[in-house]
């Protein structure tokens, strides 16, 4: 009789343990589902993050010295015109070279804010699949997406603004003066660079450099996630990638 009671108690104990394990698993599963963001939350959070990153980048580069004092994006002489710079400096015309560099960076700073509505439009057009791919993609996945989807629009928008800005800050004049002086030097290869095209492309390149920085901050620094939704979604993304 005692043995029989013992067996019943043992069996009951195992049943209880088994039930507890099942309850625990169910609880864990429910907790995970509560923590995991919905598709709507992911969509909203990523678009919020992208608006933050592109907005900050455009506004920062639009400030005076936004390009000029930022060594990551500062616009220098075109590669094919580096000989102009070194030759003119050697002739004591360094101030002319410096005027060109300052003026082309001022033109880029002038145009930077034009990027903001273009990025906002691209963000609105993102599909749910685009959003998920970017969220769980590489650290610069959003920057790559923008590069593919907005480069043509940015070029069309930036080019006339850059052209006007180059003229406004006398960059075109300084550039023409520099190239004219250089091309008069005996035996040099003549240089005829499309200054507007060059500055437009470098301005756009610089914009993507800054967006990549902001994207990385949001992905890696909790302090850069300005809302509870950003913290939830990007925290979830971090766990998913591990």
pLDDT reported for residue 178: 77
Instruction: Indicate the burial class of 11 (C-beta count within 10 angstroms; 0-12, 13-18, 19 or more).
Output: exposed
Q: Longest Cα pair distance anywhere in the chain, in angstroms?
A: 117
**What's the pLDDT tens digit per position in 41-60?**
989 999 999 999 999 999 99
Domain definitions of the chain by residue range: 1-35, 39-241
pLDDT reported for residue 1: 54
**What's the pLDDT tens digit per position in 211-238?**
999 999 998 998 988 889 889 988 888 8
pLDDT reported for residue 173: 79
CA 140 vs CA 16, 50, 128, 232: distances in Å = 50, 12, 18, 20
pLDDT reported for residue 192: 62
What's the mean per-residue pLDDT of the chain? Answer: 82
pTM: 0.77
φ, ψ (nearest 5 deg) of residue 67: -95, -45
List, for the chain, all residue ranges whose pLDDT scores fall below the cut of 70: 1-35, 187, 191-193
pLDDT reported for residue 30: 37
φ, ψ (nearest 5 deg) of residue 63: -70, 155
Whole-number Å distance between alpha carbons of 45 and 237: 11
């Amino acid at each position: 009789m005692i043995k029989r009671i013992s067996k019943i108690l043992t069996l009951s104990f195992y049943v209880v343990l088994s039930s507890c394990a099942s309850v625990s698993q169910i609880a864990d599963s429910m907790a995970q589902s509560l923590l995991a963001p919905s598709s709507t939350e992911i969509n909203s959070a990523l678009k919020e993050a992208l608006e933050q990153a592109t907005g900050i980048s455009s506004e920062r580069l639009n400030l005076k010295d936004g390009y000029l004092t930022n060594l990551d994006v500062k616009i220098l002489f075109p590669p094919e015109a580096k000989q102009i710079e070194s030759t003119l400096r050697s002739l004591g015309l360094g101030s002319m070279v410096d005027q060109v560099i300052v003026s082309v960076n001022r033109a880029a700073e002038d145009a930077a804010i034009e990027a903001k509505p273009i990025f906002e439009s691209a963000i609105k057009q993102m599909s749910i699949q685009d959003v998920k791919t970017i969220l769980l993609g590489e650290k610069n996945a959003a920057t790559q997406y923008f590069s593919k989807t907005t480069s043509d629009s940015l070029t069309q928008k930036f080019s006339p603004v850059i052209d006007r800005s180059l003229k406004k800050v006398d960059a075109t004049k300084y550039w023409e003066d520099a190239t004219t002086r250089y091309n008069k030097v005996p035996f040099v290869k003549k240089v005829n660079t499309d200054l507007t095209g060059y500055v437009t492309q470098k301005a756009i390149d610089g914009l993507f450099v800054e967006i990549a920085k902001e994207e990385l901050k949001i992905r890696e620094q909790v302090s850069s996630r300005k809302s509870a939704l950003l913290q939830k979604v990007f925290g979830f993304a971090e766990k998913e990638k591990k």
